Amino acid sequence: MTDDLEQENVAGEELDVVIPGALDGVRIDRALSILTGLSRSEASSIIDSGTVQLDGKLVVKASVLLNAGQHLTAMLPAPDSGEVAADPQVPVEIVLEDPDFIIVNKAPNQVVHPGAGQREGTLVAGVLAQYPEIMELARIGLCDPIRPGVVHRLDKGTSGVLAFARTPEGFASLSEQLADRSMERIYIGMVEGHVAEERGVVDAPIGRSSRTPTMMSVRSDGRPARTHYEVLARIEKPHAMSLLRLQLDTGRTHQIRVHLSTIGHPIVNDARYGHRRERRLEEDRFFLHSQSLAFAHPRTGEWLTTKVALPTDIGSLVPEGIEL
């Protein structure tokens, strides 16, 4: 199944990377968090365990600053196994409810499902508390027990519409529409700099980075990936930025972020594939929002479109008068 993975963890394995320029001068605990999706406290625990080395030398302080080109190795903790536990305390905003599926509005910086970076309080746990039938999809082998009902995923720093299946028929239909690219996914993103063309397509294969295995990059041997973009506005202050409408033909891991960074216009506040200039956003939040999702109803074939507005944290950065 093609999807947007929120994090490609390598937990339970050895992390072996060369420090990229984007992490030059960053504390090692913060860098471990960025590279793996672990929390800062979990990253500090790895350092305390004595398994972190820089250029072959043991690291004992979380405050050590990194230099680009250094060789970092670390042994990461193994993820929990078994089913995710329901958590009625997790807020879930329902956009559309159907016997076969639900569409939710994922909040900024909300993790979709358990992983090495976060095991509790995930969106899946909240959905499971309201729709316990989604776990049956995992029990009959349609999906992973820590991702019950999940049809596609969004990065932690991305907000917006997301689909969950409730029945085998719903899961099969939505997964097939995602795979054959008939499902329409529209995003709104703000990028650094002024994009010259009014509209265009980034058509470049994406694969795992050979230098940093938890990151993706454009590679000749990668999987095909296409991202359409249209400029909605060019902004001058507080610095040059462009507001884009984006449509995915494919759904590779971190696709939008990688493609836009590759053409020289990284997503605003994306520290992993660009840099962090816009201080009005939270540290791990970048300006990318899943605005709408359209697909054929699993049983009737009726074309359905769901759309949600920008949340206030990024909506406040859009100049007045721009229609999205």
Question: Which pTM was predicted?
Answer: 0.78
Q: Which CATH number fits domain 14-75: 3.40.50.720, 3.10.290.10, 3.40.50.1970, 1.10.357.10?
A: 3.10.290.10
CA distance 49 to 76: 10
Q: Is the dihedral of CA 38, 44, 49, 54 positive or negative?
A: positive
Alpha-carbon torsion 254, 256, 260, 266, what sign?
Answer: negative
pLDDT digits (tens, 9 = 90+) for 220-250: 999 999 999 999 999 998 899 999 999 999 9
Structure tokens at 226: 């296409």
- For 128, list phi and psi in degrees, rounded to 5: -60, -35
What integer is the mean pLDDT of 144-158?
91
Per-residue model confidence (pLDDT) at position 4: 40
* pLDDT tops 50 at residue 6: no
What's the rounded Cα separation, in Å, for the pair 277 and 275? 6
- Which CATH number does 183-310 carry? 3.30.2350.10
Mean pLDDT within 281-296: 93
CATH 3.10.290.10 residue spans of the chain: 14-75
Q: Check whether 217 has a pLDDT greater than 60.
A: yes
Copy the structure tokens of residue 11. 């937990």
Query: What pLDDT shows up at residue 278?
Result: 67
Q: In which band, very low, low, confident or very high, does the pLDDT at 1 lie, cut at 50, 70 and 90? A: very low
Peptide bond preceding 238 in cis form (omega within 30 of 0): yes
Name the pairing type of β-strands 14-18 and 71-75: antiparallel
Where in the chain is CATH 3.30.2350.10? 79-180, 183-310
At the top level of CATH, the class of 79-180 is alpha beta
Question: What DSSP string runs through 113-141?
Answer: S--SS--SS-HHHHHHHH-TTHHHHHHTT
Pair 287, 269: CB distance under 8 Å = yes
**Whole-angstrom distance, CA of residue 227 vs CA of residue 257:** 10
Least confident of 10-19, 37-46, 167-176, 290-299: 10-19
Average pLDDT, the chain: 89
In the numeric block, which tokens belong to residue 170? Answer: 């719903």
**Catalytic (active-site) positions:** 155
Please give the single-letter amino acid code of residue 78. Answer: A
Residue 204 or 213, more confident? 204
Angle 40-48/28-36 helices, nearest 10 degrees? 120
| Distance in angstroms (rounded) separating the CA atoms of residues 149 and 134 | 5
Structural contact between residues 114 and 127, judged by C-beta atoms closer than 8 angstroms: no
- pLDDT of 80 reads 54
Residue 260 contacts residue 245 (beta carbons within 8 Å):
no
Q: Residue 295's beta-bridge partner residues? A: 304
Could you give the CA distance from residue 321 to residue 310 in angstroms, rounded to a whole number? 14
Give the pLDDT score at 11.
Answer: 42
Give the residue-averaged pLDDT of 8-22: 69
The mean pLDDT value for 99-104 works out to: 98
